[in-house]
Amino acid sequence: MAEPLCSLGLLLLFCSLFLKSQSIDFVYNGFSRSNLVLDGYAKIKDKALKLTDTSQNAIGHAFYPKQIPMFKNSSPSASSFSTQFVFQIVPSDANRGGYGFAFILSPSTQLSGAEGGQYLGVVNPSNDGNSSNHLFIVEFDTVSGYKEKSDRYGNHIGINTNGMESKISESASYYKGSTQKKEEVYLEEKDPIQAWIEYDGGAKQVNVTVAPLSISKPIKPLISLSIDLSPVMKDYMYAGFSAATGKKASSHYIHGWSFKLNGIADPLNVSQFSAIPAEKSTSSQNKLKILISTFSVVLFILLLALIINFLYRKVVKFEVLEDWELDCPHRFRYKDLHVATKGFKEGEIIGVGGFGTVYKGVLRANGDEVAVKKITSNDTLKGKREFAAEIESLGKLRHKNLVNLRGWCKNKINLLLVYDYVPNGSLHSLLYSSKNGNVLSWEQRFNIIKGVASGLLYLHEEWEKVVIHRDVKSSNVLIDHDMNARLGDFGLARLYDHGQNSHTTNVVGTIGYIAPELTRTGKASKSTDVFAFGILLLEVACGRLPVTYEPDQNVILVDRILDCLRTGNIFDAVDPKLNSTYAVEEMELVLGLGLLCSHRLPEPRPTMRQVIRYLNKDEILPVFDKLNSVGSKRTDQIRSRFMALKLADDITVTTSSIYSSSVGDMSSSSFEITGSGR
């Protein structure tokens, strides 16, 4: 009897830990101290979170510092969440105030470029309504005038996504008691107001409820909107508030806040919240403010003159920010990265490539492990171009199968990129120099292949622009804690708009992965990325480099696979370290798809969306259509089908066209210098 009880206890403990890992919750009953991420006018005052004061055109942001995982267990639907907060909008005593605040879920704590007034510090006219914003917004607005058809009045509450166009809005009110009589609530009230926002991920419905502080939560919500937030949400989001003023202004306070993922937020202790009085604005205070402002301006000018004089004497000339530096992610201080990498100590090096050295670092501020790539190049301009390319592309991309760029630094001749540390190194190192004799299993390899394919599909079709990576190879695929693939090193990447063609004219990449048409035209495309991915597939399946340099000859991986195919058994090419432990049909699929993707001509190559469908077995690869399920007859059919598709002849031409020394005016060594990677 004891043993079943023990097993039941372990099961309950496991379930508890699992559920805990899928949930996040917090409660702030006042803000005497907090770890919130504050920005703009936001600060802690009078045990409350003050987002703005009554200054004109003020903006304040406050976010909970930890990321919230919005999708659990690979579910395609966004998780449920619930939040309660108590707020107060306090106008000055001189006149009625204006504008308001919003509860938001955002992929970033940095709402750069956001404007005040009717945009509430969340978006601006150029990105208002863009689906790439990935914003969920519940606005509490006190001024009418933005797109009258949706926000028809002041003192209203609205539910928005990605911008300030409300999908639904209602005058601020609540349903009172059992009579369900509707009572209006004035957002610019002398007393605090409660608000509840709940999203049911199963029913795909958002409910918003408000009530005075003295009233318990009404049974019926003010707003109920059927909406699927899954397309809006990213894998990880931040919860927080944004408030703004314009020509009209009020102070915006949050007295308390609770939040819970996959559950009901804990109730707040509303009895301890007291109203904050209206801010005084007398003529004497205004005169004092003018006097202080005038003195501050004069003092600032004097200090600025002293600083300019000091810098001129010490540096002679100033560092001017280039265009690409003005729209990039977080900029790190050089001295912080110097400390994190122990002075760029040789023992901290985790990778070396043609364009730089990668160091492991630990940020002193939060203890996070990072990888710091230090760009080095004899051609300073070239180094800056590669540096700028990686920031421009990777800095804005967010996908679970891409390396996450955290920031950058430019200090004199030092160009540095800071991105997430990926602990298991590169796919190349795991295939060819794994530690302790550990060998990647076939299940791990197949999962890695699917991850790289998913990342390339995002780059080619799912982001706001087309991104051509131009250097897909095993050493640029990093493996995280869970053995998932992260495609990185975007130094050679190029971006262009959907529906247009790439304008690249130079041949870059790594020998073995370069599509034959690229050597003739210099024009990189999605298809040249597919070619490199096809070579990567064959490399993972066979455990061999695309080109093996031996004393008497250079062995081409594709030639070896085709030789095995011609002699009757393509599985002779499979990595012997697998000891024949693999799923036969999956191995056939990877080998066949690898040969098809690396076809001599770009037209027969599949798109990455087709590749995903083949790997997920939603479609059957042409080579395997209508084959017997097992046995030597199947092997013979596969061989004849490959031959019928003329993959053998085409790929033989491909290898000879790439690896001969007569490609234009370039030798093999020139390709190695251009595309050795990092």
Indicate if the alpha-carbon torsion angle 180, 185, 190, 195 is positive or negative: positive
HSE at residue 553, side-chain half, CA atoms within 13 A, is 5
Which residues, other chains included, contact 181 with Cβ-Cβ below 8 Å and sequence gap of 6+? 175
Q: How far apart are CA 631 and CA 642, in angstroms?
A: 17
* CA max distance for the chain: 98
Q: How far apart are CA 311 and CA 325, in angstroms?
A: 21
Backbone angle region of 606, left / alpha / beta, with phi > 0 → left and psi within -120 to 50 → alpha: beta
Strands, DSSP E only, in 455-502?
466-468, 477-479, 485-487, 494-496
Report which residue type is found at 169. S
CA–CA separation, 365 and 344 (whole Å): 18
**Cβ-contact 527, 605 below 8 angstroms:** yes
CB atoms under 10 Å from CB of 13, counted, come to: 10
At a CB cut-off of 8 Å and minimum separation 6, what does 614 contact?
Answer: 589, 593, 606, 620, 621
Q: What are phi and psi of 165, to 5 degrees?
A: -85, 110
For the CA atoms of 280, 283, 285, 290, the dihedral, rounded to the nearest 10 degrees, stands at 130
Q: Which residue bears the tokens 């863009």?
A: 130
d(CA 565, CA 171): 72
Q: Report CA-CA distances (Å) from 88 to 9, 46, 194.
A: 47, 13, 9
To 10 degrees, the CA torsion angle through 543, 544, 545, 549? 150
Phi and psi (nearest 5°) for 85? -150, 160
471 is catalytic: yes
Cβ contact 504:494 at 8 Å: yes
Measure the CA–CA gap between 403 and 420, rounded to whole angstroms: 7
In the annotated binding site for ATP, the residues are: 374
Q: Bridge-partner residues for 38, per DSSP? A: 62
3-state percent helix, strand, coil for the chain, nearest multiple of 5: 35, 25, 40
Handedness of CA 353, 548, 473, 672 (dihedral sign): positive
Q: Which of 39, 141, 151, 471 is catalytic?
A: 471
- The whole-angstrom separation of Cα 431 and Cα 283 is 76
CA–CA distance, 541 with 539 (Å, rounded to integer): 6
Q: How far is residue 152 from each of residues 123, 146, 222, 329, 479, measured CA to CA in Å? A: 20, 8, 16, 37, 52
* Contact (Cβ atoms closer than 8 angstroms) between residue 462 and residue 405: no
Query: Known binding site: residues?
Result: 374
**C-alpha distances out from residue 524 to 113, 327, 461, 471, 494, Å:** 33, 26, 16, 10, 9
Active site residue ranges: 471
